[in-house]
Amino acid sequence: DSGVTQTPKHLITATGQRVTLRCSPRSGDLSVYWYQQSLDQGLQFLIQYYNGEERAKGNILERFSAQQFPDLHSELNLSSLELGDSALYFCASSVEGLVDTQYFGPGTRLTVL
């Protein structure tokens, strides 16, 4: 158990819908990272927050957004969902944004029908 929690574990929805994925970092970790793992794109970095502020952006679509709240949990919002958004979404956390000490959550599997 990495100490990073993600909810829900599974999510099934339809095209055009909007969903919110939630991540709680390990106690004491200020930084949260979101990654998408899909069959065709592999594992890709989406976005990073550090203590409530956006720190780095990767291959995140404009239909996706994220935020980190004062209690340090983070939410990833995916809207106007397409079939191709079906993937495993991982959250990771680290102390002070040190990328080489990232701990990954178990992931949320999103299926868009």
Partner 1 sequence: GDSVTQMEGPVTLSEEAFLTINCTYTATGYPSLFWYVQYPGEGLQLLLKATKADDKGSNKGFEATYRKETTSFHLEKGSVQVSDSAVYFCALSRQGAQKLVFGQGTRLTINP
**Contact status: 55 vs partner 1 (CB under 8 A):** yes
Q: Out of 13, 20, 38, 56, which residue is the one contacting partner 1 (CB under 8 A)?
A: 56
- Residue 21 burial class via C-beta count within 10 angstroms: exposed 0-12, middle 13-18, buried 19 and up: buried
What six digits make up the tokens of 41?
Answer: 């794109």
Q: Report whether 21 contacts 108 (CB < 8 A).
A: yes
Q: Out of 19, 76, 81, 90, which residue is the one contacting partner 1 (CB under 8 A)?
A: 90
Interface with partner 1 by CB under 8 A: which residues? Answer: 2, 4, 31, 33, 35, 42-45, 48, 55-56, 58, 90, 92, 97, 99-107
